[in-house]
Amino acid sequence: MRPIAAALSLLLATTACTTMDAQPPAASAERLVAPILTTPDAVDSSTFAQPQVARVTHVALDLALDFERDRVGGTATLDILARPDASQIVLDSDGLQVSRVTDGRGNELDFDIGERVEGKGAPLTITIGNARHIVIAYTANPQASALQWLDPEQTAGGEYPFLFSQGQAILNRSWIPTQDSPGIRQTWEARVTAPKPLDVVMSGILQGEPEDLSNGRRAFRFVMDKPVAPYLIAIAAGDIDFRAIGPRTGVWAEPAILDRAHWEVADTEDMVKEAEALYGPYRWGRYDMIVLPPAFPFGGMENPVMTFLTPTFIAGDRSLTGLVAHELAHSWSGNLVTNAVWADSWLNEGVTSYFENRIIEEIYGEKRAEQEAALSFAAIEDTLAEVGTDVPGTALHQPDGTDSAGSAIVYDKGAAFLRTLEHEVGRERFDAWLRQWFDNHAFEPATSAMIYEDMRKNLAHSEAEAERLRLREWIYEPGLPANVARPDPAAFATVDAAAAAYGTSRAIPAAAAWRKWSSAERQRFLQKLPQQLSAEELAQLDRQLGLAATGNNEELFLWLELALANRYEPAVPKAEAFLAEVGRAKFVRPLFATLMEEGEWGPPIAQRIYAKTRPSYHAVTRGSVDKVVGWKE
């Protein structure tokens, strides 16, 4: 039996007799309630909640979007599961303006918002007494860190405003009063009103057609009947249209980019089918996507039933659709089985990165999958070369206080771990194990200790084999274990030879050959170029390969990073235009960091550009770049 709070069975048996106020709708009795893990490694330090005492099981939102004041407000109705002697529930909040809390009968409940803790928000403590159904009336701060309000000129259409949210890791507490921890899964529903003609989408299933209201607004209703981590509650609203891909897949986007977006993601229905063939049924109903304005800070966000995507993946040749495969794979690893604490993020991202590569292999072939895996592995090697192989932050499990070595560990080392296991035990046996992991822990939180024990029990045939597989070393120790399965050197043999030739004789590949290379091959070539190049050498590369004019943002980023690191003046206008258009932190932060490292030349350029572009960035991006450029309000 998984480590569930000892009191939970009692709670489930006694909820009815301890609920004194009005009952939730009858349908709520059928909602799945996920367990709470109580082992020390599952206690989440990023939340104020005390779920062993009182926990949220369901959230019902009734909200209005105010684009004139950049505010969202209304009510959040919470269903609570609590110990019979519990008199309070503690929620997470960050900047919420709470005006009233009542029980199910409308009786006022006392509440207190405690002192704010930097990076964590403030506890919202509510005296619930016997109430197990409470209503919170509130308004979110216009500067809510999860929300980005865009003016019309920041959108592709230029006519209407736009709103999107980004809740990971602990930002949703800035617009939803709940227990904002990945280990406290909750079902939810929402009614959201917005001014016409804007459409609203959320990470739940849309219920029927929007309802026309008498005040120039429409109401949209959504339901998520599976318990999810709170960071996965997401919203977007704007001038967006929908186009179907398959019977359960489709894409939303602004009308100006819908054609391009739809073409780029046309393989999505096939991806879902291949993912199901690998690791079991897709359990969320629909799989839709929305391509957001460029200010979105991430490549993608795996919000259930509505993946959020950056437009920077649209290359016109589907060469960057690994992003779609990655977010889809999260429907199993991350959404279905979720890390209980952020110290175990690799359970989401590392497993997903492995799964992504398997989908790519099925859709686009073994060669592309091998090349993308090789790029991933190179990122690990680069990180270890930079920070060292014995740094605690290079372990997969990263307890509180550990400075993470970054995405190359959480994503790429996690994927390398699973590729190594597949190589060691064989694909058939490995796939059977991973599928049962998803099945046996569906809609539940998990920890590194849990997957370690599951591997020992259900993957390794003996304790000796568990030792041979180095399971504990992979999860808990820094660096790369000696049994790591390295990518096939032949994956980039041609490209690496071309990069070596450029390094020795400055021989540039022919433009025709360059165009025939895959995006992974072009990225590999750019990464392998000498780090110190003259202005003339950079100009020759650009002229022959068309680097500054590419429509592939991954390749453009690598070119700009190389050019700026060599103080190449002709690249500055292109970099400025790129940073003004794109808010993806993966691109933005490194380019500003590169400029800041270039003596007296770069910092003035970085500070001048950032002063213009900062207002257009999401809080996630601003937070990282502020530190790089030394921004002072």
Selected catalytic residue, list 138, 160, 279, 411:
411
Q: Taking a C-beta distance cutoff of 8 angstroms, is the pair 553, 312 a contact?
A: yes
Residue ranges of the chain whose pLDDT lies below 70: 1-29
The question of whether 465 is a catalytic residue gets the answer no
Q: CA–CA distance from 166 to each of 149, 262, 264, 561 (Å)?
A: 12, 23, 23, 27
3-class state of residue 467 by DSSP: helix
pLDDT of res. 633: 74
CA triplet 453, 458, 460: central angle to 5 degrees? 85
Rounded CA-CA distance 426/441 in Å is 23
CB atoms within 10 A of CB 129: 15
Q: CA–CA distance from 381 to each of 18, 186, 378 (Å)?
A: 56, 38, 5
Residue 233 tokens read as 């509650």
CB atoms within 10 A of CB 420: 20
The question of whether 327 is a catalytic residue gets the answer yes
Half-sphere exposure of 131 (CA within 13 A, CB side): 21
Contacts for 312 with CB less than 8 Å, ≥ 6 apart = 294, 299, 553, 582, 584, 587
Q: Taking a C-beta distance cutoff of 8 angstroms, is the pair 313, 553 a contact?
A: yes
pLDDT of res. 188: 98
CB atoms within 10 A of CB 52: 17
Nearest Cα neighbor of 91 from 141, 125, 59, 120 is 125
Selected catalytic residue, list 189, 327, 422, 521:
327
CB atoms within 10 A of CB 608: 12
pLDDT of res. 30: 73
pLDDT of res. 632: 83
pLDDT of res. 31: 86
Half-sphere exposure of 477 (CA within 13 A, CB side): 9
Q: pTM score, two decimals?
A: 0.92
Nearest Cα neighbor of 109 from 146, 82, 73, 135 is 135
Q: Taking a C-beta distance cutoff of 8 angstroms, is the pair 47, 181 a contact?
A: yes
Q: Taking a C-beta distance cutoff of 8 angstroms, is the pair 247, 184 a contact?
A: no
